[in-house]
Amino acid sequence: MNKSIILHVLGWILNFEAAFMVLPIIVALIYGEKSGYAFLITIGICLLIGLPLALFKPKSRIFYAKEGFVSVALGWIMLSFIGALPFYISGQIPHFVDAMFEIISGFTTTGSSILSDVEALDYCMLFWRSFTHWIGGMGVLVFILAILPLARGESMHIMRAESPGPSVEKFVPRMRTSASLLYGIYIGMTILQILLLLAGRMPLFDALTLTFGSAGTGGFTIKNTNIMSYSPYLQNVITIFMFLFGVNFNFYYLVLLRKAKDAFKMEEVKWYFIIVVIAIVLISFNTGQVKGFFGAIHHSAFQVSSIITTTGYATLDFNYWPTFSKTILMLLMFIGACAGSTGGGIKVSRIVVLFKTIGKEMAYLVHRRSVKVIKLNNKKQENETVRSINVFFVTYMIIFGASLLIISLDNFDFTTTFTAVATTLNNVGPGLEIIGPMGNFGGFSDLSKLVMMFNMLAGRLEIFPILVLFSPSTWKR
């Protein structure tokens, strides 16, 4: 393995993280908060390690799939470790495991929190927490790729390891242009949401942090009451934007190219839309008897789009919903958003392919000689892709089971334990019962928190980059 180029990439990640931390410092200056010094110290540490690594020319520029996986996985772990330092140094989250949990939940756009009182945090800390959602949503390395020519032709390996979805495609031939386009769309939509929220008289700080949370499909809020206290207009804006950020970004690229017709033909987006509509209708009917029909649609739309995109905002405590509605929400957690969006979960395209595989198997059982090609977007899915989706699903289930077993040691009720794993592995945020939208993860043991941190990273990077890190053959010469 080419260690020198991986160190070089890691060096650049540190430098970029230092640059990102300038923003919370500005926030600290505006609000006159002393805890801003914690960011200064962290920036110092970043640059001290990062600059020499980045400026040092790597011995060889060889960069293969292995290097791609390892630098992405290590990069994310390092990003989280450094990102947790400000919380720890300033003493705002005194226990280091908690600080790590909080920041990993941030970068992986999960939004699960160990804090029982969010409002006790300083503004700069709240800002940093939410800003990590925004960075993590589209990916740090993709951001770096848009600016720096890190590894020339082989940058595809980085993109593939960091971007969600079974098969990653570029919009245009150049990786750099592709990454810039991706971030361009991302930034454009973020600004639009901020403006719309400001138009609804939301304070600037709230608008920024909540937009970061919905753009990255994260879910950290800055109030103990989550999104409840905002006006219905603001809640609706957030509903729509959460939904939009869960759409495959190829869709927006096609729309920008004025190929809206092709965009609306995207099978994954179609299914995503259908699932959302069905879930909203079912939940509205199920909860409607309690609160009146229009209120029910408003709330179910918000919750559905929050959970399927794996954001995790809430306008009410859905712990009190009927079991049928709660079960639908839980299924949505697993389905997740579209591939190529900022959302987590298994991804709609994988689910669609899995269902088509079932159809293929049935046809094969009845007609032994039948040959059927699995198509998505009217395009043949290579056997390799289908196989890797199957393996992904199996691995996902194994990790789920193992995590469930370890976390059950804490002896919480089954619903809490089960949804804790589901919500972290799918990067959603809240679960049910104790960890519901108004609850928090503070009560779990450190071991459970470590397992959940692993789950969040594995979920965000789609399992294999993180697993590759633990495979002995990666490190053998």
Which positions lie near another protein, rule CB under 8 A? Answer: 65, 152-157, 170, 172-177, 382
Give the count of beta carbons closer than 10 Å to the beta carbon of residue 302.
Answer: 25
- Closer CB to another protein, 91 or 153, in the complex: 153
| Shortest Å distance, C-beta 253 to another protein | 12
| Shortest Å distance, C-beta 209 to another protein | 36
- Closer CB to another protein, 253 or 321, in the complex: 253
> What is the torsional sign of CA 127, 130, 136, 137?
negative
- Closer CB to another protein, 255 or 406, in the complex: 255
- Closer CB to another protein, 172 or 278, in the complex: 172
- Closer CB to another protein, 155 or 403, in the complex: 155
| Shortest Å distance, C-beta 70 to another protein | 16
| Shortest Å distance, C-beta 387 to another protein | 14
- Closer CB to another protein, 40 or 168, in the complex: 168
- Closer CB to another protein, 100 or 156, in the complex: 156
| Shortest Å distance, C-beta 153 to another protein | 4
Q: Are 41 and 422 in contact (CB under 8 A)?
A: no
| Shortest Å distance, C-beta 371 to another protein | 18
| Shortest Å distance, C-beta 215 to another protein | 26
